[in-house]
Amino acid sequence: MRRENNRGLYRELNKPFTSLGEFDAAVTQFSDVVRAARVTAKLPDVYVIICASAQVTDGETQVITGLHFGNELLAEGLTAWAYGKEQAEHRELIGRMLAAKKTPA
């Protein structure tokens, strides 16, 4: 899977939305961009998971949602594939870390 791990950008983007309404507006804007990019790139099936935080009356909450464009019958399979891929890559990372720890200095 392609990944981006830009810590500075993450810190900049990881500010809570001022309300759930502001979060919803951002998701709608993002959805419009992804929808257009999907058509331009000619990608039939796209699934995106979004996680952010938002201010609510009693503090702050984490909000998770998803966007799916394409064949509704593939949505579950797409997310299952992504979950399995994440698990495999996580196990591989842990294996590399443990192997590095065993290597004599």
Give per-residue pLDDT as tens, 60-93: 999 999 999 999 999 999 999 999 999 999 999 9
Select from 35, 37, 34, 64 the least CA-distant residue to 52.
64
Q: Is the pTM of this model over 0.75?
A: yes
Q: How is the chain split into domains, by residue range?
A: 1-70, 71-105
- Cα dist. 105→28, 75, 80, 96 in Å? 52, 47, 40, 16
Average pLDDT in the chain? 94
Please provide the distance, in angstroms rounded to a whole number, between the alpha carbons at the two ends of the chain: 32
The runs of H, that is alpha helices, within 46-74 are none
